[in-house]
Structure 1
Amino acid sequence: MANFLASLSVKRFHRVAAFFGLCVLCTTRIVASANAADQPNIVWIVSEDNSIHYLDHFFKGGAKVPHIESLAKHGLTFNHAFSNAPVCSVARTTLITGCYGPRIGTQYHRRYAMAAMP
């Protein structure tokens, strides 16, 4: 392979590189269009800092949030779910990545305050 590349002129090298680039581009477009037809169309909307005690969707008399309630009525609601992190940004990271916060270091976004010893 090295001998082949060394024997090419600059003009021919550009032609060969363009040909291979075009082949790669066409192949990825074909594969992407084939895979896109097989994948489901999913939109995942997360409304955070919502408790069962505060929203009218879960507790009659709670805050009225009509757009979220409409989405919940026509979509999927998790009625028995737990967060593995007490801070919302870490909880979002664990949902997106599928990894625990301490495993990938996302829980270290705040400075620790030193507590006085009794």
Structure 2
Amino acid sequence: MGVTHASISEMISGSPCAWVAILDHEIVGFSMIDVAQASLFAAFVLPLHEGKGLGSQLVLLAEDELFQHHSEIWLETEKNSRAAGFYRHLGWSKEREAKGNQIRLTKTRPCVHQAITP
């Protein structure tokens, strides 16, 4: 997949692309994006800290940054994984097959409606 220490270092130094969740001075989760590719690259929370809303917050931060640059964003994950269900719950859809047992999910920037006053 091309994930190396060098490629991760380059992504981090190139733009705001990574967020961490810290509890009691310990990193318990992170999310990371590839802005140029419009993708959510990774989102993980340690098992002991799942179910606390940290994963959702990390993904929403990543989405906000991606939507500043793109109207549609994507991610890939294993088709029948818990992660796939988690992302679907957060509004990721338009599922299509990817390599191996992976699926690609997309999300479109929410429309902001403003009231027009006379």
Q: Which structure's relative contact order is higher, taking Cα pairs within 8 Å and 6+ residues apart?
A: 2
**TM > 0.5 fold call:** no
Name whichever structure is richer in helix by fraction: 1
Structure number, greater radius of gyration: 1
> Could you state the TM-score of these two structures normalised by the residue count of structure 2?
0.20
Select the structure that is richer in strand: 2
Q: Under a length normalisation based on structure 1, what TM-score does the superposition of the two structures give?
A: 0.20
